[in-house]
């Protein structure tokens, strides 16, 4: 939770992307009673608030910042990688009439963590930024699309070099945002 959108974390989003999480977190998300107990404990200590009839969470930005700052660099990179995987697994791969409402619902769930993520050398981060950036481009959110497509391009270039097809695709997507 420390790496996600602090204003609203949809449990539906976490469930949709749970395949990219650790097995223990995946089991927790698939057990409504246990999840309710854990979230109740966090809420009692005022670490989170349940919103949207209990189907959403709010976490204070200061709590997120403290948790992120207390991590060692390699742990921080690992959690950013897991966050990018969660976003990639939850956000629909194809954009069409059926998936567009889901993409719009999850847009803030994925945009905020992906835009805040450091440019770690991660194919998952590049794919996630590219996928969401392309949706934002098609949805007319050009500034947000530029940020994510730019990050996807920078990460692809750092990992695979200037002439790799993934880098060239990311470059073309970034150019489209301009």
| pTM score, whole prediction | 0.90
User: For 51-94, how does the pLDDT look when each residue is reduced to its tens digit (9 = 90+)?
Assistant: 888 789 999 999 999 999 999 999 999 999 999 999 999 999 98
Cα separation values, 53 from 18, 91, 95, 154, Å: 21, 23, 29, 40
């Amino acid at each position: 939770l420390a790496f996600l959108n602090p204003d609203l974390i949809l449990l539906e989003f976490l469930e949709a992307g749970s395949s990219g999480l650790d097995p223990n977190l995946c089991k927790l998300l698939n057990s409504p009673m246990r999840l309710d107990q854990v979230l109740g404990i966090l809420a009692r200590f005022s670490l989170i608030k349940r919103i949207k009839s209990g189907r959403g969470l709010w976490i204070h930005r200061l709590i997120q910042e403290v948790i992120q700052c207390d991590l060692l660099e390699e742990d921080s990179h690992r959690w950013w990688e897991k966050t990018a995987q969660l976003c990639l697994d939850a956000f629909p791969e194809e954009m069409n009439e059926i998936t567009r409402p889901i993409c719009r619902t999850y847009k803030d769930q994925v945009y905020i963590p992906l835009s805040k993520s450091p440019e770690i050398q991660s194919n998952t981060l590049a794919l996630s930024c590219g996928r969401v950036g392309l949706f934002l481009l098609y949805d007319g959110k050009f500034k947000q699309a530029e940020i994510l497509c730019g990050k996807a391009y920078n990460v692809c270039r750092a990992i695979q070099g200037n002439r790799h097809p993934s880098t060239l695709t990311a470059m073309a997507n970034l150019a489209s945002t301009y």
